[in-house]
Amino acid sequence: MKKIFYPLMTALVLLTSCVTDKADGPRKVFEPFTVENLEPRPDFWKVRPQEITDLCEKVKVGRSEIIAETPLGFPVYAVFYGDFSEPAPQTNFSAGNSSATVISYLGDRYRDPDVKQTVLYLTGVHGSEPEGVAAAANMIQMFETGKDFRGQTDPELLELASKYRIIIIPCLNMDGRSICPDHLRGQPYEVFRKACQGTWSDGSLIGWLGSKEYFPLPLDRVSFPGGYTNGNGYNIQHDCTPGDMKTEEAKAVCRLMARWRVDLLLNVHSCEISSTMFEPGLVDTPEHIKRGNTLYTKVLGAFKEAGLREDVPEMEGGDEAVDLTQLANYCSGALGLTVECSSSYDDIHNPKVCYTFDQLMESAILAFKTVMDDGLREPFNRRNLP
């Protein structure tokens, strides 16, 4: 039934000018953003909603689960690798962490000093940013078959993955992904901004900062909403106000982290400069900030060594943002970090160098491998067990 329903839903999204939402009344639906003479994508670049759905439905080595449905009717999948058989927590993280022992939340499996840590790889929070989605699809393919969609294997990645429990959400914002190009490689700044944050009715750019002045974005005032938002106009990355969360997508991520006691959230995005990583948020715990600073330096160093950026900038004291990444700590005590893959080239520092599709995707995979390698030497999250 799914194989019939989701392609039909995609067609309805693209052909219908208006659909009805039970809570919000008529919702404006937008035609996909197109780029003239856009370079054809390579075959391994699997980022379309139907491609993600097809891949997740075929998972056999791991386990896939639909954790939410988007406003436009797309499924949001999580794919699990490792042993996820333990019962649900008897308490939540907040209460358990304040009890006699946090084992009351973590469960008996954490009495084992060699317990595998749980890593959540989250991408596609902004549907206009496909680099992490492509990486997720190729990692799932490799975990399933031993090779990615390029026909390549990565023994280091496979060995690291065997030492963790891994959850992959290959595309959280399927609505935004459905109306955005497969990539923006080689495109100028203005095209990147149009695709990401959209345009007002008069054609002017909404902009990165401008898009955050509204929650939700007033869809009746835009000619294109950008892939930042879901079908209801919400930027899921900023749906993080406890007690007032608006999107099923963000709620599902939080439920997932709490249910499976996630230790590390790696939230993968894209930007118009060279690949980078945000410093840990200042609203986090001092221990998480210290651990996150170490990983920040190591990931950027790995990017520089791989030719994905020119330098490792000095830390500026922490990120003041409050967003979905920071909620990780409140859901399960997890360390949350945000990675930014380049979407094309370094628009500010070195615009003459346009990264290849392999490099655009490898940024996310390299960040994933770097943090997992370091996590074997020092846990992402010291649980303060008795």
Residue 386 is assigned to a structural domain of this protein: no
Q: What single string gives the DSSP state of each residue in 38-95?
A: PPPPPTT---SHHHHHHHHHT--SSEEEEEEE-TTS-EEEEEEES---SPPPSS-HHH
Q: What single string gives the DSSP state of each residue in 193-248?
A: HHHHH-EETTS-B--TTGGGG-SS--GGGEEE--TTB-TTS-BGGG---TT----H
Q: Tell me, what's the pLDDT at 162?
A: 97
Residue 381 is assigned to a structural domain of this protein: no
- Report which of 338, 367, 368 is spatially closest to residue 237, judged by C-alpha positions: 338
Helix, coil or strand: residue 97: helix
Q: What is the mean pLDDT of residues 21-38?
A: 75
Q: Tell me, what's the pLDDT at 223?
A: 97
Q: Tell me, what's the pLDDT at 27?
A: 67
Q: Tell me, what's the pLDDT at 349?
A: 62
Measured N-to-C along each axis, helices 49-57 and 131-145 cross at an angle, to the nearest 10 degrees, of 20
Domain count of the fold of the chain: 1
Strand 199-200 and strand 222-224: the pairing is: antiparallel
Helix, coil or strand: residue 336: strand
pLDDT exceeds cutoff 80 at 20: no
With cut-offs at 50, 70 and 90, classify the pLDDT of residue 101: confident
Q: Which two tokens stand for residue 355?
A: 């990264």
Alpha carbon distance 60, 80 (integer Å): 10
Q: Which two tokens stand for residue 135?
A: 């990486």
Q: Which two tokens stand for residue 87?
A: 């019962």
Name residue 380's amino acid: F
Q: Tell me, what's the pLDDT at 111?
A: 85
pLDDT exceeds cutoff 90 at 304: yes
Q: What is the mean pLDDT of residues 335-349?
A: 85
Q: Which domain holds residue 207?
A: 2-375
Question: Cβ contacts of residue 368 below 8 Å, gap of 6+?
Answer: 121, 135, 139, 157, 266
Residue 184 is assigned to a structural domain of this protein: yes
- Report which of 340, 182, 333 is spatially closest to residue 261, judged by C-alpha positions: 333
Alpha carbon distance 381, 386 (integer Å): 15
370 and 275 Cβ atoms separated by less than 8 Å: no
Helix, coil or strand: residue 263: coil
Residue 385 is assigned to a structural domain of this protein: no
Q: Phi/psi at 228 (nearest 5 deg)? A: -65, -40
CATH of residue 44's domain is 3.40.630.10
Q: What is the mean pLDDT of the chain?
A: 90
Instruction: Give tens-digit pLDDT for 147-178.
Output: 999 999 999 999 999 999 999 999 999 999 99
Q: Tell me, what's the pLDDT at 9?
A: 43
Q: Tell me, what's the pLDDT at 8?
A: 41
Residue 221 is assigned to a structural domain of this protein: yes
Residue 207 is assigned to a structural domain of this protein: yes
Question: Which residue is it, tokens 């019939």?
Answer: 4
Q: Tell me, what's the pLDDT at 16?
A: 35
334 and 381 Cβ atoms separated by less than 8 Å: yes
Alpha carbon distance 63, 49 (integer Å): 19
